């Protein structure tokens, strides 16, 4: 399991969870909602936190123009610091993007041109253009229980366009529990339902989705050793 940090001020609490359990890892980062309230966010501070073997990714970071809980200027500055850290460490960047497709795609392409870095569009709910532009520069797309929702036809259509070798599944726990558990607190076991829906969308078996998304996870999160069969 991968547990996500959304505030640097709470990183040690998240890190402690990862250190307690052999099958849990964590990230370090600042969610765009917290971009102006979390002070002293620098690439070096993020890089320093990644030296632990339990810290396997950077983020959650990105842009959220739906809620605009932080000024967009601060969101972008914070996001760029995370990109710099990802480029330096080559650890995957976990990206939150909501109602910011054009800016997100432009920033990713501009920054990628300065030097490649691995990244993941987490809990994907954006349009096809962002997804395709991200995949074109090496990005991955992670799908949550949203793809099981009745009104998510547009997202399912986008998923059809994406290559299997760039897809993952996730919970976004405790949010976005998939059908048939919608409305309940989400949990890791529920990813089975998301994977089943993904298999239906792609026209393959659930077992194939399990194998492919697990392989993709380990290709992206290189610090996590694969589980022995």
Binding-site positions for a divalent metal cation read: 60, 96, 122, 172
Residue 54 CA to residue 223 CA, distance in Å, equals: 8
3-state helix, strand, coil in the chain (%, to 5): 50, 15, 40
Q: Which residues of 28-53 are buried (b: 16+ CB within 10 A; e: fewer)?
A: bbbbbbbbbebeebebeebbebbeee
Phi, psi of 224 (to 5 degrees): -95, 120
Q: Which residues are annotated as a binding site?
A: 60, 96, 122, 172
DSSP state of 204: S
- Which tokens belong to 53? 């073997």
The position carrying tokens 């600042």 is 30
3-class DSSP state for residue 25? strand
The residue count for the chain: 229
DSSP state of 38: S
Phi, psi of 44 (to 5 degrees): -65, -40
3-class DSSP state for residue 107? helix
3-class DSSP state for residue 65? coil
């Amino acid at each position: 399991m991968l547990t996500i940090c959304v505030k640097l001020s709470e990183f040690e609490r998240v890190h402690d969870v990862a250190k307690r359990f052999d099958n849990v890892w964590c990230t370090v980062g600042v969610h765009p909602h917290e971009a102006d309230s979390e002070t002293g966010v620098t690439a070096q501070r993020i890089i320093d936190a990644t030296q632990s073997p339990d810290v396997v990714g950077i983020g959650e970071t990105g842009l959220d123009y739906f809620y605009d809980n932080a000024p967009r200027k601060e969101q972008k500055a914070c996001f760029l610091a995370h990109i710099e850290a990802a480029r330096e460490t080559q650890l995957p960047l976990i990206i939150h993007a909501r109602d910011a497709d054009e800016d997100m795609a432009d920033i990713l392409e501009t920054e990628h041109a300065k030097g490649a870095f691995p990244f993941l569009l987490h809990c994907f709910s954006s349009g096809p253009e962002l997804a395709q532009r991200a995949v074109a520069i090496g990005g991955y797309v992670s799908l949550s229980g949203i793809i099981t929702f009745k009104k998510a036809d547009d997202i399912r259509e986008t998923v059809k366009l994406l290559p299997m070798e760039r897809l993952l599944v996730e919970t976004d726990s405790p949010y976005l529990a998939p059908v048939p558990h919608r409305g309940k607190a989400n949990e890791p076991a529920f990813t089975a339902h998301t994977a089943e829906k993904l298999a239906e969308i792609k026209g393959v078996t659930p077992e194939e989705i399990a194998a492919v998304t697990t392989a993709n996870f380990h290709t992206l999160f290189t610090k996590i050793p694969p589980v022995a069969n």
